[in-house]
Amino acid sequence: MVTSLKGRHCLTLTEFTKEELLFILDTAFSLKQRYLAGEKIIPLLPGRHLAMIFEKPSTRTRISFETAMRELGGNPLYLSASELQLARGETIEDTARVLSRYVDGITARVYEHWKLEKLAQYSRVPVINALSDLHHPCQALADVMTIMEKKGRDITKLKIVFVGDGGDNVLHSLMLAAGILGGKVTIASPPGYEPHPSVVKLFEEYASGSYEIERDPYKAVENADVVYTDVWVSMGQEKEREKRVKDLTPYRVTVDLMKHAKKDAIFMHCLPAKRGEEVVDEVIDGRWSVVWDQAENRKHAQKGLLALIIP
């Protein structure tokens, strides 16, 4: 039985057991149902403040966290890195020490994952990863929530396939979320695009599920329940664009590829999408796509997380 998650960090999702992850998801489902029933403000965090540090641009992450916090009765504070003393050389350690005396939680979207680890080490309040180069745990919470909505609560019975860059931060978190819950993820990627060794180590330590790498995308998606992809060139990888596009073009999600999945398969993408590159319009706008429900669930999944870990 889960008692309390107050004060817990969320950097990779491995901070939570299977039972605790399910508790977060159950809370998210409950809060979504209440929101859809007309309860636009559910004051679970009255008077609480959430500092939101952003080194990278954001649409879904920023807006979903801001609205989630407000709908819980709290106050989000958007802080671009250029507006903080971080831009003038103040250390992450000192920033964490100060911010955590003003606010009740910190969420940060950063280029390097080690910055989040430093924030968490020196913060008195929970630190939430809003995206780093290695992990995107809040996206994975929304992903699992969407899969459960569309395919049932027992993901151990599903074939989840990620097509594209196996070193992608979104894939890393999907692997860990599904693995902690006992599920299996198939990764369709070319040689040289495998999951990061640090993520594999976390998976081996914390996950009860499994993952496999399949080089042939058509074989990978055979009888898939879920087909997922992400952009091939993330922020900070622009210099590698030409090579990455060449290597990953065989892994584009097309109508033909989706026809190898189950007839009732769903297509997922964390967005933003580079239409015509990793996925064609006919798929992302087609009958398989649940990407808009997936994007909506970012807010509700994060509400569940915030409600449970903010003291």
CA-CA-CA-CA torsion sign (173, 179, 185, 189): positive
Residue with tokens 């989000």: 76
Catalytic-role residue among 9, 60, 62, 136: 136
Catalytic, 252? Answer no
The phi and psi torsions of 207 (rounded to 5 degrees) equal -95, 140
Q: What is the DSSP string of 38-53?
A: T-----SSTT-EEEEE
Amino acid at 260: H
Catalytic, 293? Answer no
Catalytic, 109? Answer yes
Catalytic-role residue among 49, 62, 109, 244: 109
Alpha helices per DSSP H over the chain: 18-36, 60-71, 92-102, 113-122, 137-151, 169-180, 197-206, 217-220, 241-248, 255-258, 281-284, 291-309
The phi and psi torsions of 109 (rounded to 5 degrees) equal -110, 110
- Angle formed at CA 136 by CA 135 and CA 140, multiple of 5 degrees: 120
- Angle formed at CA 288 by CA 285 and CA 291, multiple of 5 degrees: 60
Catalytic, 300? Answer no
Catalytic-role residue among 139, 165, 172, 252: 139
Catalytic, 230? Answer yes
Catalytic, 10? Answer no
Which strand ranges, in their side-by-side order, compose the sheet holding 105-109?
75-80, 49-54, 105-109, 127-129
Catalytic-role residue among 8, 113, 298, 300: 298
Residues with active-site annotation:
109, 136, 139, 230, 270, 298
